[in-house]
Amino acid sequence: MEQDELVKKIKEIIGIAEQIPEKYQKECFTVLLDVELKRPASPPEVKTTETPSISETKFIIPIDVLAFLQQFSVPEEKLSRLFFMQGNEVRTTFRIETDIKSKAQMQVAVLTSLEKALKGGKFEFNVEDVRNRCKEQKCYDSDNFKGNFKSNDRLFRSLSDEEHVELSPDGKAELAEADLELAK
């Protein structure tokens, strides 16, 4: 890894670590740096006339998701039981199994944030996307939908911007629990 590239990655890791509670920042930084340093270096670019098809390209898990998996001891192979990932594409494959609609709604919300993170974004979701997915999963409770978010507000950084609801550290812990439960 080139020195400039390493410096850039370290700055990126510092930025990520600064977003979590202070008592975990040092450990988070260490874990993320360790993951980055163990990542194999990219092979030299070889020019070819053939472009690989999507089915031939491997999905690369973003560093934030790898750090999440390591932080919460979630095996990487659990992701493939929840999502189909190939090339640059991610599709959900999970099915919510609980009959408790409030729990199901929170599982849909945190798993939707994981999908967004897998696509290179933050661990966040759009409330309307969660509403639609709850309807698809047959766990939508129209009377209590908004109330379920408010009663579980510790899982989110803020509910004021419904298009970008980001998970809090407690929300990431809830996500890890949902991953382990649904990806048996």
Query: How many other β-carbons are positioned within 10 Å of the β-carbon of residue 136?
Result: 12
In a shared domain, residues 145 and 63: yes
In a shared domain, residues 61 and 31: no
In a shared domain, residues 109 and 158: yes
182 pLDDT more than 90: no
Tens of pLDDT, residue by residue over 53-88, are 545 578 899 999 999 999 999 999 999 999 999 988
**Shortest CA distance to 17 belongs to which of 68, 60, 79, 61?**
68
In a shared domain, residues 26 and 65: no
Provide, rounded to the nearest whole percent, the portion of the chain with pLDDT above 70: 90
Q: Give all strands (DSSP E) within 89-129, no chain letters.
A: 89-92, 124-125
Assigned domain for 23 exists: yes
Tens of pLDDT, residue by residue over 117-153, are 999 999 999 999 999 999 999 999 999 999 999 999 9
* Angle at CA of residue 131, ends 179 and 98, nearest 5°: 45
Rg (CA), the chain: 18
pTM: 0.69
In a shared domain, residues 100 and 160: yes
In a shared domain, residues 8 and 61: no
Residue 53 confidence (pLDDT): 52
The answer to whether the beta carbons of residues 70 and 38 sit under 8 Å apart is no
First to last CA, the chain: 37
State the amino acid at position 130 in one-letter form.
V
What's the rounded Cα separation, in Å, for the pair 29 and 13?
A: 6
| Full residue range of the structural domain in which residue 13 is found | 1-40
In a shared domain, residues 84 and 15: no
